[in-house]
């Protein structure tokens, strides 16, 4: 999704503001237009991979409308359209437009991201594993906030990547692991520390120096994992997920390999501080949809 | 602020958080502290303290615990004639609106959201005391 270009057109200011609020933190390749002339101008001057428009049924039918303009353009005729509006239940008028997805009135951010993921990752393993921007910000925010508040250690976020866990190995000295399950997906979150960093975090949190990863340090890793998960879960549930409560476990051993409960692609988030490094990984697999 | 001799019970399944809470209570001048690692362990301690005539003057409990949650412990405390007015503070990592509402309806005196700094924790304890004195 990251490199795909999206044009958002809404002549309704509150809808445009809400779409900007949802998309800005996770997608910097989005262009916004609040008037049809502006939308056409922007579409003519750049090639977009998808268009999201807020409209109502009459506007879709209207031959002067933006949708009709796009249909008249060779380079926009077949690109994915997301239509958000109040009166879109009667899909007969659009029955031939199989590239259209509908975002119902009262949409939640998670629904918007699901549609965008479906468009931009369609058919890819990444889509099946839901490794997408919607998970990145709540997790990164929770990690930075929890470590920063409790140990006054400022983490610098590295570039996120998607790893194939069948081949790529992640290693650390102590790892907090917790299940991430909802009705739609199941997986695990791993918070992987190098010894130097976790001993610095422990010292600052507990005002007590340790030279080795012992039971106290492991308990500290479990509590950090617990709080990161709790904070990220709160934020993810606010955008429409229903992630279930879970309890962390801990794995330790110098340079151990991090193993998730399932295989596949996972979101890999590196962090760096003056005191050392850590990695956060999220591996989730979509569950079959209930009929 | 609470009398330094106030008997406090800290309930959390993680030793790390119990130590952090105890440290933060220390900044409030509170040193007479007992610990329990689950609500199910805490409740008999609370009952025994009442029988001994030395009840707890403040309970600080984690929300999510494996056997008896902080909310369930709160309900037990509020449901008993002898402990229903004991100041009770919940510590939680989630703070979902509906959870907070349920805790308030169940009679919690205050709640602290993890992660927190000692200063934030102290402020929450001071708020509890201030409300009790009104």
Among A56-70, A214-228, B102-116, the range scoring the smallest mean pLDDT is A56-70
On the question of pLDDT at A235 being above 90, the answer is no
Q: Is the CB of residue B5 less than 8 Å from the CB of residue B16?
A: no
Tell me what pLDDT residue A128 has. Answer: 42
Q: How far apart are CA B30 and CA B37, in angstroms?
A: 20
* Run of H or E residues at A172: strand A171-181
Mean predicted confidence (pLDDT) in A83-87:
69
What percent of chain B has pLDDT above 90? 86
Residue pLDDT, tens place only, A3-23: 678 999 988 888 899 888 888
* Chain-centroid distance, C-alpha A36: 30
Among A169, A206, A181, A145, which Cα is nearest to A281's? A169
Angle between helices B70-79 and B97-105 (to 10 degrees): 20
Among A245, A246, A271, A268, which Cα is nearest to A258's? A268
Residue pLDDT, tens place only, A127-146: 344 455 567 778 888 999 99
Tell me what pLDDT residue A90 has. Answer: 46
Tell me what pLDDT residue B100 has. Answer: 84
Give A 64-123 residues with CB within 8 A of chain B.
none
Q: What is the pTM of this model?
A: 0.71
Q: How far apart are CA A226 and CA A178, in angstroms?
A: 8
Please tell me if residue A156 touches chain B, with a CB cutoff of 8 Å. no
Give B116's pLDDT tier (boundaries 50, 70, 90).
very high
Q: How far apart are CA A11 and CA A70, in angstroms?
A: 16
Give A283's pLDDT tier (boundaries 50, 70, 90).
confident
If one compares B92 and A118, the residue with the highest pLDDT of the two is B92
Give B67's pLDDT tier (boundaries 50, 70, 90).
very high
Tell me what pLDDT residue A78 has. Answer: 77
Q: In terms of CA atoms, which chain B residue is nearest residue A232?
A: B94
Distance from CA of B15 to the nearest CA of A (A): 7
Taking contacts as CB-CB distances below 8 angstroms, the residues of chain A near B64 are 226, 230, 245, 247
If one compares B118 and A285, the residue with the highest pLDDT of the two is B118
Q: Is the CB of residue B96 less than 8 Å from the CB of residue B68?
A: no
Give A95's pLDDT tier (boundaries 50, 70, 90).
very low
Q: Do A231 and B94 touch (CB under 8 A)?
A: yes
The per-residue pLDDT of chain A, averaged, comes to 82
Q: How many residue contacts between A and B have a Cβ separation below 8 Å?
A: 51
Tell me what pLDDT residue B10 has. Answer: 98
Shortest CB distance from A234 goes to which of B16, B20, B94? B94
Mean predicted confidence (pLDDT) in A156-168:
76
Tell me what pLDDT residue A27 has. Answer: 66
| Angle at CA of residue B45, ends B39 and B46, nearest 5° | 85
Q: How far apart are CA A184 and CA A157, in angstroms?
A: 28
Residue pLDDT, tens place only, A194-208: 999 999 999 999 999
On the question of pLDDT at B93 being above 90, the answer is no
């Amino acid at each position: 999704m990251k490199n795909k270009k999206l044009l958002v057109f809404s002549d309704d200011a509150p809808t445009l503001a809400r779409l900007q609020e949802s998309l800005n933190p996770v997608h910097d390749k989005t262009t916004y237009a609040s008037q049809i002339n502006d939308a056409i101008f922007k579409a003519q001057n750049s090639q977009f991979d998808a268009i999201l428009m807020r409209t109502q049924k009459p506007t879709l039918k209207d031959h002067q409308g933006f949708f009709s303009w796009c249909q008249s353009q060779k380079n926009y005729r077949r690109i994915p359209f997301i239509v958000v509006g109040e009166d879109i239940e009667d899909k007969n008028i659009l029955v031939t437009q199989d590239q259209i997805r509908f975002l119902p009135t009262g949409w939640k951010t998670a629904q918007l991201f699901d549609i965008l993921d479906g468009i931009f990752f369609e058919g890819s393993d990444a889509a099946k594993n839901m490794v997408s921007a919607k998970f990145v910000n709540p997790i990164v925010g929770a990690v930075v906030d929890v470590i920063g508040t409790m140990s006054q250690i400022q983490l610098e976020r590295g570039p996120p990547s998607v790893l194939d866990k069948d081949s790529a190995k992640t290693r650390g000295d102590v790892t907090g692991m917790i299940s991430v399950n909802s009705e739609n997906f199941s997986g695990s979150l791993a918070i992987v520390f190098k010894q130097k960093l976790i001993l610095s975090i422990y010292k600052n949190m507990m005002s007590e120096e340790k030279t080795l990863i012992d039971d106290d340090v492991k308990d500290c890793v479990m509590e950090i994992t617990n709080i990161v998960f709790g904070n990220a879960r709160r934020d993810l549930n606010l955008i429409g997920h229903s992630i279930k409560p879970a309890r962390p476990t801990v794995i330790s051993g110098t340079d151990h390999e991090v193993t998730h409960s399932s295989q596949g692609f996972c979101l890999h988030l590196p962090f760096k501080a003056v005191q050392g490094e850590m990695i956060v990984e999220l591996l989730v697999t979509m569950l079959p949809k209930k009929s | 602020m609470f009398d330094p001799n106030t008997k406090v019970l800290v309930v959390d399944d993680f030793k790390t958080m119990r130590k952090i809470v105890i440290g933060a209570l220390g900044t409030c001048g509170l040193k007479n502290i007992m610990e329990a690692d689950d609500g199910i362990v805490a409740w008999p301690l609370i009952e025994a303290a009442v029988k001994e005539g030395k009840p707890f003057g403040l309970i600080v409990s984690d929300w999510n615990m494996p056997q008896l949650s902080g909310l369930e412990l709160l309900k037990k405390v509020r449901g008993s004639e002898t402990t229903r007015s004991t100041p009770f503070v919940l510590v939680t990592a989630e703070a979902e609106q509906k959870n907070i509402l349920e805790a308030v309806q169940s009679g919690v005196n205050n709640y602290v959201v993890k992660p927190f700094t000692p200063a934030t924790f102290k402020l929450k304890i001071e708020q509890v005391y201030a409300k009790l004195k009104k």
